[in-house]
Structure 1
Amino acid sequence: LKVSCPEEIAFRKGFIDAEQVKVLAEPLKKNAYGQYLLKMIKGD
């Protein structure tokens, strides 16, 4: 769990699903934060 990662918190609490995380992470996929979100939903 990263500090202050609202997408991860929302995902783990069930407020958003993996598809919604993917949509949010796509514009950020070139940086470490976006890559972290994409790995999180893949279960890595």
Structure 2
Amino acid sequence: MHNSECDKNRKFNISIDSHKAIRDELLFLFVSASMRIYKCRW
């Protein structure tokens, strides 16, 4: 029983990490696109 709890927690942590990585990537893409638009405007 204790083992399955640990496995569940590990899977949960991995999913949180991947969500964070995806969010950081989207944020980076958004910022770089905004910078490009901003530079084109000037």
TM > 0.5 fold call: no
Greater relative contact order, per chain length (Cα 8 Å cut-off, separation 6+): 1
TM-score w.r.t. length of structure 1? 0.29
Say which structure is richer in helix: 2
What is the TM-score when the length of structure 2 is the normalising length?
0.31
